[in-house]
Amino acid sequence: SKPQDQYEPSLTTLGQQQMAVPGAPEGVPAMTQAEFDEANTIYFERCAGCHGVLRKGATGKALTPDLTRELGYEYLHTFIEYGSPAGMPNWGTSGQLDARQVDLMARYVLQDPASPPEWGMPEMRDSWKVVVAPEDRPTEKQNDWDLENLFSVTLRDAGQIALIDGSSYEIKKVLDTGYAVHISRMSASGRYLMVIGRDAKVDMIDLWMKDPSIVATIKVGAEARSVETSKMKGWEDKYAIAGAYWPPQYVIMDGQTLEPLKIVSTRGNIYDEQTYHPEPRVAAILSSHYRPEFLVNIKETGKIQLVDYTDLKNLKITEIEAERFLHDGGLDSTKRYFITAANARGKLVVIDTKEGKLAAITDTGGETPHPGRGANFEHPTFGPVWATSHLGDDSVALIGTDPEGHPDSAWKIVDSFPALGGGSLFVKTYPGSNHLYVDATLNPEPSISGAVAVFKIDEMKGDGSDPEILTLPITEWAGITEGQPRVVQGEFNKDGTEIWFSVWNGKDQQSAIVVVDDKTLELKHVIKDERLVTPTGKFNVKNTQGDIY
């Protein structure tokens, strides 16, 4: 099990510090302190990401007591047990929460929310540790690993990442990190791997060491999802940035040591109504290839900040009015445009990172777009397009991304067609591949959440007819029969010849990674290992370094 870092207060403790002693208002089921603490931890680990720390809602519905008490215990219990096709996971029937915990959570959301404390420079500096100083690190690569083909795989509930070799499928190393690492990002040089836990712990791994290890670590808040490094020419590996959900802020750090240099709060007014929001969380962060800037999505207020990192003392931020509920997104194939989902608004926002301006806001025609980083390919009719699937329905939407060569299609939804079902999280293809892959991870139906849809790009007609869906039975290929394993997030190897899918099962159940041959769509390999606990995100070093997707 994972050693608890001594400086790292648990989320339960964070919640407790300011939590009123639970005495239930009239009509609200009572909870003991121990029950409230347990539910509070489950809430932070499972629910806060969608519903917000203050329970004001975003990807998920608002769960403030005025609303939950209106809905009542029975309704909440059923929702938590069975989920909904619109994206609420079926926590009970999937076995992720047991009957006692479902009851606990239904009672918990009827109570007043706990508000965790702030996390400023003193707390960050206390948590910051340089394990190996830059001058004590190797000056050249000291191992024989094929770094470009290495995959950093999140072992979500174990609080670890696995480094897996892309040709031998061997687990080279498992590292203890923060809890439920959300993403891995590579530094521009391809040397440093940055990971961020849901608990806002950032770890920096030096892949040049004989035995790649964590060389610096810091905790940037209580809840977080994003980390990135400076990629502009001349600024490679100079800075890192991490965005937090709680407190709502981001921090710019030294790219060699993670020393915290500048914290920027994102609290402020919603872009259109111009009313104050106490919890505008930092969602996706990307690094511009055209300017020395980080692109920071601020979810609840609907703003995208372009943060110029050339002069941190006289920080220049371009703030773009975009759309509320900004979440994930990625670059187009030229890396000039950033396309990102305002998920609860059903929209895509396009930023021109060269001009530093809004290029377009487009309705996807679907419910809750969730692209991950999206998928770039050359459509036979519409030229370069970028794809997203949806959490709330089965549709895949394609947006034209070539304003020069295909001005008529640029930033318009040029086609939309059904995949396997709602609950999709990620789409994927690769330069040169003829396949677009679409998962349906959160679909309540096991035969759907356990499979992946594939579409042949050269057969996309663009005449309004739906392309044929090929279904890959990934869970069946993994040979896992227990639980409701969910297939999530395809990622290609360095040559673009294989795509890897996680088969994500319960913590005490068997999980796997299934490797598919991209040409033949046949099963190539199944990685099973007792260390592979709840694998979710997979990040190939080369693709992550070069923003290839």
Q: Which positions are annotated as active-site residues?
A: 47, 50-51, 88, 327, 370
Query: Should residue 224 be labelled a site residue for ligand DHE when binding is judged by CB under 6 A?
Result: no
DSSP letters along 521-545, please? --EEEEE--TT--SEEEEEEHHHHH
Q: Which residue is nearest to ligand DHE (CB)?
A: 49
Cα–Cα distance for residue pair 239/258, rounded to 1 Å? 8
Q: Does 49 bind ligand DHE (CB under 6 A)?
A: yes
Task: Determine the Cα–Cα distance for residues 397 and 341; give it in Å rounded to an integer.
Answer: 12
- Candidates 31-39, 121-129, 177-185, 410-418: pick the segment binding ligand DHE (CB under 6 A): 177-185
Is 194 an interacting residue with respect to ligand DHE (CB under 6 A)?
A: no
Residues 437-456 that bind ligand DHE (CB under 6 A): 441
Angstrom CA distances, 148 to 58, 127, 167, 265, 477, stand at 36, 31, 11, 36, 27
Distances (CA, A) of 160 to 57, 168, 344, 395, 514: 28, 21, 31, 33, 19
| Least CB distance to ligand DHE at residue 3 (A) | 21
Annotate 29-50 with three-state secondary structure.
CCCCHHHHHHHHHHHHHHHHHH
Q: Does 541 bind ligand DHE (CB under 6 A)?
A: no
Map the footprint of ligand DHE across residues 64-103, applying CB under 6 A.
Answer: none
> Cβ closer to ligand DHE: 145 or 500?
500
Q: How far apart are CA 362 and CA 206, in angstroms?
A: 40
Closer residue to ligand DHE in complex, CB, 46/238: 46
For residue 294, the one-letter residue type is: F
Out of 80, 104, 158, 183, the residue judged to bind ligand DHE by CB under 6 A: 183
Which residue lies nearer to ligand DHE by CB, 47 or 414?
47
User: Closer to ligand DHE at the Cβ: 178 or 292?
Assistant: 178
Pair 255, 238: CB distance under 8 Å: yes
375 neighbors 453 (Cβ within 8 angstroms): no
Figure out which of the listed residues 42, 104, 114, 180 binds ligand DHE, where binding follows CB under 6 A.
Answer: 180
Q: Report, in Å, the least distance between residue 133 CB and ligand DHE.
A: 28
Among 492, 53, 509, CA closest to 299: 53
d(CA 71, CA 470): 41
- Least Å distance, CB 409 to ligand DHE, is 25
Map the footprint of ligand DHE across residues 272-291, applying CB under 6 A: 283-285
- Cα distances (Å, whole numbers) of residue 4 to 176, 178, 216, 225, 387: 10, 10, 16, 20, 40
Give the nearer residue to ligand DHE in terms of CB position, either 230 or 409. Answer: 230
Binding mask 370-409 for ligand DHE (x = CB under 6 A): --xx------------------------------------
Cα–Cα distance for residue pair 431/352, rounded to 1 Å? 22
Strand ranges of the sheet holding 293-298, from the earlier edge strand across to the other edge: 282-287, 293-298, 303-308, 316-321
Name the segment binding ligand DHE (CB under 6 A); options: 138-146, 176-184, 254-262, 360-368: 176-184
Binder of ligand DHE out of 488, 512, 513, 514 (CB under 6 A):
488
The answer to the question of residue 197 lying near ligand DHE (CB under 6 A) is no
Considering the complex, what minimum distance in angstroms separates the CB of residue 71 from ligand DHE? Answer: 21
Q: Which is nearer to ligand DHE, 391 or 410 (CB)?
A: 391
Toward ligand DHE, which CB reaches closer, 155 or 385? 155
Measure CA of the first residue to CA of the last residue in the chain; give whole Å: 34
CB of 287 to ligand DHE, least distance (A): 10
Q: Which residue's CB is nearer to ligand DHE, number 226 or number 256? A: 226
Nearer to ligand DHE, 91 or 145 (CB): 91
Site string for ligand DHE, 123-162 (x = CB under 6 A): -------------------------------x-x------
In the complex, least distance from residue 396 CB atom to ligand DHE, rounded to whole angstroms: 16
Structure-block tokens of residue 45: 């680990």
Q: Which of 219, 225, 303, 336 binds ligand DHE (CB under 6 A)?
A: 225
Backbone angles phi, psi at 60, to 5 degrees: -100, 170
- Distance, CA of 308 to CA of 491 (rounded, Å): 30
Other CB atoms within 10 A of residue 3 CB? 7
Say how far apart CA 388 and CA 329 lie, in whole Å: 9
The three-point CA angle 118-123-129 to 5° equals: 145
If one asks whether residue 40 binds ligand DHE (CB under 6 A), the answer comes out as: no
Instruction: Tell whether the torsion through CA atoms of 245, 250, 256 and 260 is positive or negative.
Output: negative
Considering the rule CB under 6 A, would residue 489 count as an interface residue with ligand DHE?
A: yes
Is residue 61 a contact point for ligand DHE (CB under 6 A)? no
Distance of closest approach, residue 168 Cβ to ligand DHE, in angstroms: 23
Nearer to ligand DHE, 76 or 410 (CB): 76
| Neighbour count for residue 417 (Cβ, 10 Å) | 18
- How far does CA 296 lie from the centroid of its chain? 14
Tell me the three state secondary structure of residue 143.
Answer: coil
| Least Å from the CB of residue 32 to ligand DHE | 26
Which of 231, 324, 327, 345 is the binder for ligand DHE (CB under 6 A)? 327
Helix axis angle for 73-82 and 99-108, nearest 10°, is 130
Whole-number minimum distance, CB 441 to ligand DHE, in Å?
6
Question: Which 328-357 residues touch ligand DHE, going by CB under 6 A?
Answer: 328
Per the structure block, which two tokens stand in for 154? 């999140």
226 contributes a contact to ligand DHE by CB under 6 A: yes
Binding residues (CB under 6 A) for ligand DHE: these are 49-50, 59, 154, 156, 180, 182-183, 225-226, 283-285, 327-328, 372-373, 425, 441, 488-489, 536-537
